[in-house]
Amino acid sequence: MPPSNPLSPERPEDSRFLGVCEELCFVAAWLPRGRHGYASLRAKEFNRQVGAHRLAVKLLIGPLKGEDMALHRCGNSRCHNPYHLYVGGDAENLRDRVLHRDARGHLEPLAATDDSRTSRVLTPRPLVLRKEVSRVTANFTGFTPNKCFHADWLHPTYDGYRQLCRTSWSGEVVGAHRKIHTLFIGPLDKYDIVGHSCSDTTCLNPYHLFISGQHTSHRDFNARHDKRCKLTDEGLDMIADMALRTAELVSKLGLHPQTILTYRRALLDATGHARGVQK
């Protein structure tokens, strides 16, 4: 039992992060899986399902560019332990397949190492961990209960959370912390509110995340976010173009002037990430 820590208060077994370690796979039993074992999450900002292992790389190791692939050192498609993931391409993928082809046939049955974990997280030990060099120099730096985890390459939401790509949605819809919760702690209902025990809304450490409650009025929640959904990429680009006057945007986009100012303030805060401030 880990020592008690104010940032990772004791929670019931089924809502607690159980940790990841370098040696063992992390297979979340609550995630839906395709035929080949890959889990995926619905990502509203991409309007599709995204592979759990790809999300784990993008959230915890670094951005994927162009033809970059998120590859498994362990050869276990069901795993999204960030220690077992690296960035490569077709050549590395092919070498991985050759290495794991035999091992895959002999991979231990996906059995948990202790009974308390059987229902939620399976942690099989991979037969072989590939040592291929990653295309990105960054490595996963690990989660510890008393230290926040920040991914500086992610974009800010207008309300102070982090997100994978620049959108006009709030953290309660596209927040990176919500994806981390779903990947490493347990499933989320869209009305669930995810809190930070560290009070740092940019933190992605699953030891610090917990479901703090639910939005009681589903109708208000939907109305609030449906309105934001109407803003297209083109609209966002117009807001980011500081040469356009607020009044012009109000008439063209049908937004309240205050909403436009809020977006622009968020863009200015996002130094280095927002196109609008790089001019």
Question: Which residues bind to Zn ion, rule: CB under 5 A?
Answer: 25, 74, 76, 79, 81, 84, 148, 198, 200, 203, 205, 208
Residue 215 CB, shortest distance to Zn ion, in Å, is: 23
Residue 153 CB, shortest distance to Zn ion, in Å, is: 17
Residue 119 CB, shortest distance to Zn ion, in Å, is: 19
Residue 56 CB, shortest distance to Zn ion, in Å, is: 11
3-state secondary structure the chain: CCCCCCCCCCCCHHHCCCCCCCCCCCEECCCCECCCCCEEEEECCCCEEEEHHHHHHHHHCCCCCCCCEEEECCCCCCCCCHHHEEEECHHHHHHHHHHHHHHHHHCCCCCCCCHHHCCCEECCCCCCCCCCCCCCCCCCCCCECCECCCCCCCEECCCCCEECCCCCCCHHHHCHHHHHHHHHCCCCCCCEEEEECCCCCCCCCHHHEEEEEECCCHHHHHHHHHHHHCCCHHHHHHHHCCCCCHHHHHHHHCCCHHHHHHHHHHHHHCCCCCHHHCC
Residue 222 CB, shortest distance to Zn ion, in Å, is: 29
Between 40 and 262, whose beta carbon lies closer to Zn ion?
Answer: 40
